[in-house]
Structure 1
């Protein structure tokens, strides 16, 4: 598996990875009815560094890294990760996380924070905790899960 910067030629494949996740509405606080062009624009928006994980010229996942806040909080970054459905369980998310933890300090970040981790996304929570992220906050009932109802959202943090 190779992780490289996103290029415009990746747009269709990245959109195809994002849309099922956004449509499911169970891990991202994104409108499930988002249009594909708007999903791509959100993911590749200004100030975001976007990467793709690929193997044999097939995209397996994508992630972005972005400044979490401006001003006094500009040394903390935030990331979003999505693995293609056909690539789940192959270590893609873990590889993208490792890559982002290597890239973040080179971009000048001193910490990484996930602002709104849906508590029912237990695979992601487990991967991040094993990588040293701590749950530093819990927002009770902050996310309306499509099948589980109102569930907690977590704030997770790791100093770099």
Structure 2
């Protein structure tokens, strides 16, 4: 697996699983009805922020991540990131590879830590992955997320020092 900068040409491969994940409404707090252009604007940020794709040996996009500073000004030393793995390609270590890539990028870019602002507590695979890589839950916003099947569930704030 190779992780590289995402390009505008990658969007056609990202959009189908991005749309599927967002429209399901189970893990992201994005509007459920984002169209393709809006989705691209949400996911492919302008520099110095960045997006990457994980591709296999044939060049197939397996997953993607976007990363940036969490806040500006005197809080700009804390990074944040979001991840999406094509559901048809889950279970192959793509998510883990993207998170590790983000940790390496954030260290190299001079960030002191990474904070995830909104990890849905029912997204147990993501929570377990993040914890296995040294993130910890700082707190949970009770009923901070309206899950389509489980109703109101908690929204974790997760953090890892670099």
TM-score by length of 1: 0.97
Which residue does 2:62 correspond to in 1?
60
Give the gaps of 5 or more residues in structure 1: none
Give the gaps of 5 or more residues in structure 2: none
Alignment of 1:135-150 (within 5 A): 135-150=137-152
Ranges of 4+ aligned residues in structure 1 off by more than 6 Å: none
Does the 8 Å contact 2:54/2:61 carry over to 1?
A: yes
TM-score by length of 2: 0.96
Aligned residues: 160
Alignment of 1:28-107 (within 5 A): 28-47=28-47, 48-55=49-56, 56-107=58-109
Query: Aligned partners of 2:9 and 2:39: how far apart in 1?
Result: 16
Query: Aligned partners of 1:145 and 1:46: how far apart in 2?
Result: 30
Residue 16 of structure 1 and its aligned partner are, at CA, apart by 1.8
Query: Aligned partners of 2:45 and 2:59: how far apart in 1?
Result: 24
1:132 to 115, 131, 134: 134
Query: Aligned partners of 1:54 and 1:17: how far apart in 2?
Result: 14
